[in-house]
Amino acid sequence: MAAVAVKIALSSLFLSVSLATEDAFHEELIMRPLSTGHVYAHFQFSTVWHVDVEDPKAFSHYKLFPKSLGQIINQYSVEELHLTLTQGKWPHELWGYPVVSAPPGTELWVFFKENIQKSVDDNWSGLTQALSGQFCASLNFIDSKTTTSPKLSFRREGVAFNADHLNSSLLRHAALAREIVCTENLTPWKKLLPCDSKAGLTTLFNSLLLYSVNYHSLGVHLRPICRDPSCSAFSLELVQSLSLVFDPVLRGGSKLDWSFKKLFGRAIKSACPLARTSKVYVDISRNKERHGLLKTDCQGEQIPKNSVVGSDNKSPQTVTSQRSAFIIGGEFYDHFVSIILNIDHLMTNHGTSVSLGSVWVPASCDNPSFFTCLLKQSGSLFTLAPEFSVVTRQMTSEYQQHFAVYDVKQWTLENPKDRSLNVAFKWKKRDNPGTPPQFYAQRFLTGYGEEKGGITSLLHNRHPTDPLSVVYFTTFPWFLRIFLHTLTIQSGGKDIKPDIMHFTPAKDRSRPYSLEFLITLPANSVTELSIQFNKVFLKWTEHPPDAHHGFYISSAVISTKLRNPLNYTGPSRQSSVLFSSLQSAASEEVFIRLHTSILLITLPTPDFSMPYNVICLTCTVVAIAFGSFHNLSSRRFEAVDQKDSKGPVGKFMEMLQKLKAKLFRKKEAASEKKKEN
Amino acid sequence: MADSEESLKKAHSEKRIQALVSLSVGFIFILIGIPLWWNTTKVYRASLPYSEIEQLNSLKVKYATVINVMLFGPQDPVAMKEAIEKKLRSETGYPDSVVFAEYKVTVDDKHTEILTSKLSSQSWEDLDDFFHNLFPAKDNHFTFFVLPHESPEPGSMDAFIGKYLHCILYNNKDLAQLAATITMAIKSIIVNEEEVSYAFSLGSKREMKKDTMENMTAQKSITGLQVSFTLVNSDPDSVLAEWDIEPAVKKYLDPFLVKFPHLDITVDSQVLHYSTIQINPRKDGESFYLPYDDLPHMINPIEAKLGSHISFYPTLNFVVYVPLQKYTPLYMRTKEGGQSKSNAFLSPQWGGVLIYNLQRTTSVNGSSPQRIGLDMKPVMNIFLSQLKHLLGLIQVKPVNGIKLRVSTDDNSVSKWEQDSLMRLKTMEYLATSTITLTSLAQLLGKISNMVINDHIKEQVERALYSITQSTTALEEGNLTGAVLAAKMAIRSSEEAFFDPSILELLYFPDDQKYAIYIPLFLPISLPVIMSLWQALRWYRGENDEKKDKQD
């Protein structure tokens, strides 16, 4: 017996060791109902490869990591790579923050290794060619005209090997707003996954339905990470993400309710056997956390001091916080957290599936209107089936988020007969539109005509008390002549001076304008940035095939750090999965990158049949000019007496007369002959 | 009267001035305008060494081999040398043929009593090692050791070629017979004249020759290779196949690949899941089998995922296929219908496929797939023997007339095989680079608006230099030098041929160019020519007047 036990212990020890040294693959899906009724689905597939990142020779034997991509990044000495292919616009003011922000079109930014073989620019152009073949995207249109090296906006997301990690000389960034994403990009992207689309969460991918969505974003993110907490060795992490925003109404049935079968046309059939985690998360925070609604709807209602509430009349409890009797703005807010904490306490006592409405019954009350109001609001908004296993919460110090978790691996084990997992979501009542997030931005074109124009951005900082520092980065193609002196940054009529500013002027046909600055937005304000430009005549060969469509200006990138933002579920810097543990600690500040919408401008477009006509016209003008000069220099024009010389007309007339005379004489002769006869 | 004379004079001088003006304009046009236009619109064409490229068409390759014969028997070395040389000369082709073999024969007498006793009663393999230790082989020297004693049994083998650069023979009293055996061994096995000249004429296309099946197994004229191992695990739901490829490559493949210095070889591996062959195997009792005709169809469904496009070199794929559990065990059938022993097949120029049957030992109802490791030794042995074919090593055919045993191992390359492969590859490289250069020169001569950059010129010159270097190395018998120089030649010539700048102006034809010029040139040139004509007429009239006056 003892021997067996030892054996088991040993084997389990061995297993854990082998798990630590082996490559890992995780698949995760987050579903979030948005306040507009849309559904946001974010797939994240991460592959961790325990390879010596700094040794190019180590990149030859592949297991879970895709070989085709590994060879490319090795060939071009890539340290970190971020590629997104996106269609559709993400309105932050309505939808909050996505897990990974991406601009419409294509964005690629890459950090190269320091001990690079050729020059960074050579590797960059080689890499774009290789990636365009790999992902069937027109990345080969990335050239020096679209490439920049921003100094502040982009930082390494993984481990930085060199001490001088703030140096942006190894960074290249480019965005192609014109690029369209389609199934031809999805197929090679799927090929990089170890299970392809044969098993796991990818079985949901139905190309027909994946592209009839409001927002579609494919991403590939590669970074070196620490293999263990002490960071003695490094690994390579490849995160492939796919973000979708569905409109459930368009999927048939006029309701906003949704299920996997409705959105994707199928259910999850199995977990990828190679995946270490295979989980689906559904954001159910709105079912629990009601402060936004209370703030608007129950404002002004009086909350009784020392009020006692109970759950199903079983155990009466006191509201622990006694700070305020009035629900006014932020002060109410503190009070409400205490109530939430009480709910949590109850929930841990009574199991997880207890919903808020059934628990909270006011026992005694000085002012019953508050609790009626609370009750009315706290009835659950929606139901979710099937039963979910665990509720994880990502906590910041003031907010909680609640996710229903489905472990697909366990699900298939527990339901061996009907393995398919179809998560169904039903609204009980229509959700109110949510509040816009703390910070968001918009951008417009201004001006009219074909000569001049301007671009205006509005940056909204909705925080009531705190100013916000943001880095604004934008590029303009060389054919818009940007005038830096026209740059105005105003907030509430007051000028704001940028704290740091980097500006690189363009070079015609070789370099774009890039403008990057750090500004501080005052609290609760809208800041307006505007800049003017002149449009340029392009050469006729420089116009794209569909010239009248116009030219895209890629989106501006705004980076900032937010304290405790709402609706934010981002990947953690330390972990390669979205949720590394059930309870995650409060992170004080979250880095957020926003992309504004892209702009389309029209440039003066020539008639493309013109070149030959122009050549002919100019040649003729030159020839006429030359001819007259030549005549002037080689001839003398003198006044001639009209009697002496008849001029060309006279000569001509004379000739005519002679001819006439000849003809008539002949005729006359003929008639004479006749007469004679 | 004086008045009219004056005006006549005035008119005369003015005509003179006019004529001079038009003449000078004309001359400016001809002397400055036309050369300026010509020079600014012509394409840049660096001057290539056309005559030297022309000479490549009649390039003759002479390769020398140094043959050492060591006599441990009582023969007379001088007579032996004469006999061998005579025999070699009589059977060698004409010295003016395209590929010509030349031999430098030396015969040493090593007849000593001590050795004689040592040499008796040892097996071929022991003797092989013994001689290698006693007379360490010099590069590019092939040695024949003639034993002091004769073959013990009359019917057995006369000679043996082992792992090194030498051949061991039994003695024979008949000197002519011994010389004949040595010459035969040289000509058809060690140097293999026929194959060498065949490789050159096939590459240079000077004579029409057809490829044989055996010849097509290896890719022609490549200077590098990607060797790619793929484990296709078709059923990860129940079995997770795993392999320790890295140590296996280090142990088996690396010592093998060192012997191909003319190729730049990279090795990589990957594991693919859920890829299947998409052919349903047929059932045969407990096991399943794939008929011979179905084997080619195995490759296509897998191939889409094998590719990697990062290297310019061709890839050799070696695929280990772990079949679906419901079709396990799976076997291949040979052409004749029997079960394949290795359970593997080779696809010429592409690589090899091996079916590796893994049987799940735990019950299928268990949750997670079972992890099973592969035994790499048999796998690598099969792939090594396939690789040997795919790299162009020719199997030794039995030669009529001599009884000779050649010790060849499927998984390793002996020194003489390596030398013979290098000789073949040198020929192939040389032939290909000459034909690339000549067709480049032809093409550039034919199409006049192709750009020739200095870069192309450099490459062409480098290729020419390397060709001469390689041929001189061949004449000296330096094989390694020859093959490396030939590799340089083929690289440079291909780089010149496929340079993208060549195509830059190809699609701008002459007629369009003139259509654009005509609106400018016609209106300008007409008045210039007319006034020139006028000026010439005036000049002639002047001359006539002068003549009249003189008269």
Q: What is the pLDDT of residue A390?
A: 62
Q: Does the pLDDT at position A209 exceed 80?
A: yes
Residue in A closest to B15 by C-alpha: A635
CB-CB under 8 Å, B310 with A71: yes
Rounded to an integer, the average pLDDT of A449-456 is 91
Which of A115-119, A572-576, B313-317, B532-536 shows the lowest per-residue confidence on average (mean pLDDT)?
A572-576
* Confidence grade of residue A304 (pLDDT, cut at 50, 70, 90): very low
Q: What is the pLDDT of residue A572?
A: 65
Which of A133, A196, A620 comes nearest B309 by C-beta? Answer: A133
Backbone phi, then psi, for B447, in 5-degree steps? -105, 115
Closest approach of chain A CAs to the CA of B432, in angstroms?
29
CB-CB under 8 Å, A75 with B237: no
* Confidence grade of residue A4 (pLDDT, cut at 50, 70, 90): very low
Q: Does the pLDDT at position B223 exceed 90?
A: no
Closest approach of chain A CAs to the CA of B239, in angstroms?
10
* Confidence grade of residue A358 (pLDDT, cut at 50, 70, 90): very low
Chain B, 434 to 463: residues with Cβ < 8 Å from chain A are: none
- Residue corresponding to tokens 């965005």: A175
Rounded to an integer, the average pLDDT of A113-117 is 81
Q: What is the pLDDT of residue A663?
A: 84
Most confident of A345-349, B124-128, B483-487: B483-487
Q: Does the pLDDT at position A297 exceed 50?
A: no
| Cα dihedral across residues B281, B283, B289, B291: positive or negative | negative
Q: Does the pLDDT at position A559 exceed 90?
A: yes
- Residue corresponding to tokens 């796919």: A242
Which of A126-140, A326-340, A515-529, A591-605 shows the lowest per-residue confidence on average (mean pLDDT)?
A326-340
Alpha-carbon Rg of chain B, whole angstroms? Answer: 37
Rounded to an integer, the average pLDDT of B168-181 is 80
Most confident of A246-260, A365-379, B91-105, B421-435: B421-435
Q: Does the pLDDT at position B322 exceed 60?
A: yes
Q: Which helix (H) or strand (E) holds A344?
A: helix A329-350
Q: Does the pLDDT at position A365 exceed 80?
A: no
Q: Does the pLDDT at position B402 exceed 80?
A: no
Q: Which of A166, A152, A169, A85 is nearest to A473 (CA)?
A: A152
- Residue corresponding to tokens 């003892």: A2
| Cα dihedral across residues A69, A75, A79, A83: positive or negative | negative
Burial classification of residue B60, based on how many CB atoms lie within 10 Å of its CB (0-12 exposed, 13-18 middle, 19 or more buried): exposed
Q: Does the pLDDT at position A544 exceed 50?
A: yes
Q: What is the pLDDT of residue A638?
A: 73
Q: Which of A634, A636, A637, A640 to mutate to test the interface with B (most CBs of B within 10 A)?
A: A634
Kindly state the tokens that stand for A618: 């100019």
ipTM tops 0.95: no
Q: What is the pLDDT of residue B182?
A: 84
Q: What is the pLDDT of residue B540?
A: 86
Q: Does the pLDDT at position A253 exceed 80?
A: no
Kindly state the tokens that stand for A93: 């003011």
Residues of A in contact with B271 (CB under 8 A): 62-64
Higher pLDDT, B209 or B282: B282
Residues of A in contact with B308 (CB under 8 A): 67-68, 71
Q: What is the pTM of this model?
A: 0.79
Q: Does the pLDDT at position A78 exceed 80?
A: yes
Which of A225-229, A270-274, A581-585, B357-361 shows the lowest per-residue confidence on average (mean pLDDT)?
A581-585
> What is the rounded distance in angstroms from the CA atom of residue B206 to the CA atom of residue B204?
5
Rounded to an integer, the average pLDDT of A179-200 is 90
Burial classification of residue B365, based on how many CB atoms lie within 10 Å of its CB (0-12 exposed, 13-18 middle, 19 or more buried): exposed
Q: What is the pLDDT of residue A382?
A: 78
Rounded to an integer, the average pLDDT of B533-547 is 81
* Confidence grade of residue A318 (pLDDT, cut at 50, 70, 90): very low
Q: What percent of chain A has pLDDT over 90?
A: 36
- Residue corresponding to tokens 């799927």: A190
Kindly state the tokens that stand for A32: 């979030």
Rounded to an integer, the average pLDDT of B210-228 is 81
Q: What is the pLDDT of residue A359?
A: 28
> What is the rounded distance in angstroms from the CA atom of residue B495 to the CA atom of residue B491?
6
Q: Does the pLDDT at position B448 exceed 70?
A: yes
Q: Does the pLDDT at position A103 exceed 50?
A: yes
> What is the rounded distance in angstroms from the CA atom of residue B163 to the CA atom of residue B128?
7
Q: What is the pLDDT of residue A109?
A: 95
Q: What is the pLDDT of residue A76?
A: 92
Q: What is the pLDDT of residue A40?
A: 94
Backbone phi, then psi, for B547, in 5-degree steps? -60, -45
Rounded to an integer, the average pLDDT of A42-70 is 90
Residues of A in contact with B369 (CB under 8 A): 273
Q: What is the pLDDT of residue A662?
A: 85
Q: What type of residue sits at position A286?
A: R
Chain A, 59 to 118: residues with Cβ < 8 Å from chain B are: 60-64, 66-68, 71-72, 75
| Number of Cβ atoms within 10 Å of the Cβ of A89 | 15
Q: Which 3 state secondary structure label does DSSP give A539?
A: coil
Which of B236, B246, B310 comes nearest A61 by C-beta? Answer: B246
> What is the rounded distance in angstroms from the CA atom of residue A671 to the CA atom of residue A673?
5
Q: Does the pLDDT at position A324 exceed 50?
A: no
> What is the rounded distance in angstroms from the CA atom of residue A169 to the CA atom of residue A567?
35
Q: Which of A21, A28, A73 is nearest to A46 (CA)?
A: A28
Q: Does the pLDDT at position B369 exceed 70?
A: yes
Q: Which of A474, A434, A598 is nearest to A89 (CA)?
A: A598
Mean pLDDT, chain B, rounded, equals 83
Rounded to an integer, the average pLDDT of B219-228 is 87
Residues of A in contact with B237 (CB under 8 A): 199, 270, 273
Q: What is the pLDDT of residue B543?
A: 79
* Confidence grade of residue B269 (pLDDT, cut at 50, 70, 90): very high
Residues of B in contact with A135 (CB under 8 A): none
Q: What is the pLDDT of residue A346?
A: 35
B21 touches chain A (CB under 8 A): yes
A625 touches chain B (CB under 8 A): no
Q: What is the pLDDT of residue A293?
A: 33
Mean pLDDT, chain A, rounded, equals 77
- A161-172 tens-digit pLDDT: 776 767 788 999
Which of B25, B310, B522 comes nearest A72 by C-beta? Answer: B310
Which of A653-657, B41-45, B234-238, B495-499 shows the lowest per-residue confidence on average (mean pLDDT)?
B41-45
B524 touches chain A (CB under 8 A): yes
Q: What is the pLDDT of residue A316?
A: 35
Q: What is the pLDDT of residue A323?
A: 26
Q: What is the pLDDT of residue A58?
A: 86
| Cα dihedral across residues A260, A263, A269, A273: positive or negative | negative
Q: What is the pLDDT of residue A672?
A: 67
* Confidence grade of residue A529 (pLDDT, cut at 50, 70, 90): very high
Q: What percent of chain A has pLDDT over 70?
A: 75
A198 touches chain B (CB under 8 A): yes
Q: Does the pLDDT at position B20 exceed 90?
A: no
